[in-house]
């Protein structure tokens, strides 16, 4: 994880703490306080401050309500999970066997919580300004999309539909290619196809979330080819 973040922790125990899911503590006789939950609490506040400061700078004419809507779209669970997947956070987590067997390490709720904990660990280890810069780097794609749209991002499926139509391509089609975990907490994998070619893949705890993630991936791929 340090190689992905681009720096070594001064206190490696902070990084490890950010990667420990509560289920790992439960199954290994550890105190619950040794999981990432306390860091998650702090990371939520650190993220909100970093993102709020950047939005205040990027949107000088937006009022409080508009800024709040944009921030909500950026720090919501689905967006945090998307960024966590992008940096491979799920594969670094220490989880219990039960969570592992159900594919829980890739669930949006787990990834979002661990991502917030990781941000808090960086904050405690490196300080506010370093963390702010790292948050901006990790959110670079999402922040640029918001800025280009001039506000909260639209539904990615609608945007993809508009993009393929403008290029004279067939409407996108979505297909489920995988489902892991129990009935009460599945993780779906969905591909989106344009002209019978896979142009994006996404994961999510609901099919609609997985489709949106696939559409976002397709938008990034197709926009680069416009």
Catalytic choice (40, 54, 108, 116): 116
- 101: which 2 tokens? 């067997």
- Annotated active-site residue 140? The verdict is no
End-to-end Cα spacing for the chain = 33
- 188: which 2 tokens? 């779906």
Going across the sheet that includes 173-180, the strands are: 173-180, 187-194, 197-204
Instruction: Spell out where the chain has E strands.
Output: 173-180, 187-194, 197-204
Catalytic choice (44, 78, 108, 191): 44
Query: Which residues is 197 bridged to in the sheet?
Result: 194
- Annotated active-site residue 116? The verdict is yes
Q: Which helix (H) or strand (E) holds 2?
A: helix 2-5
The catalytic site residues sit at 44, 116
């Amino acid at each position: 994880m340090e190689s992905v973040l681009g720096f070594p922790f001064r206190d490696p125990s902070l990084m490890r703490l950010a990667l420990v899911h509560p289920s790992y503590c439960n199954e290994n006789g550890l105190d619950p306080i040794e999981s990432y939950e306390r860091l998650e609490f702090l990371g939520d506040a650190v993220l909100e401050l970093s993102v709020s400061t950047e939005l205040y700078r990027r949107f000088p004419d937006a009022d409080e309500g508009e800024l709040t809507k944009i921030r909500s779209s950026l720090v919501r669970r689905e967006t945090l999970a998307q960024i966590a997947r992008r940096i491979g956070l799920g594969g670094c987590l220490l989880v219990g066997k039960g969570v592992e067997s159900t594919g829980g390490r890739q669930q949006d709720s787990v990834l979002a919580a661990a991502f917030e904990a990781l941000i808090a660990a960086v904050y405690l280890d490196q300080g506010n300004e370093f963390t702010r810069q790292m948050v901006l780097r990790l959110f670079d794609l999402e922040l640029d999309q918001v800025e280009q749209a001039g506000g909260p991002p639209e539904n990615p499926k609608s945007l993809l539909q508009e993009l393929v139509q403008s290029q004279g391509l067939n409407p996108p089609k979505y297909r489920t290619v995988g489902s892991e975990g129990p009935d009460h907490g599945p993780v779906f994998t969905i591909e989106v196809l344009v002209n019978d070619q896979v142009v994006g893949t996404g994961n999510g705890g609901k099919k609609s979330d997985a489709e949106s993630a696939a559409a976002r991936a397709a938008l990034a791929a197709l926009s680069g080819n416009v």
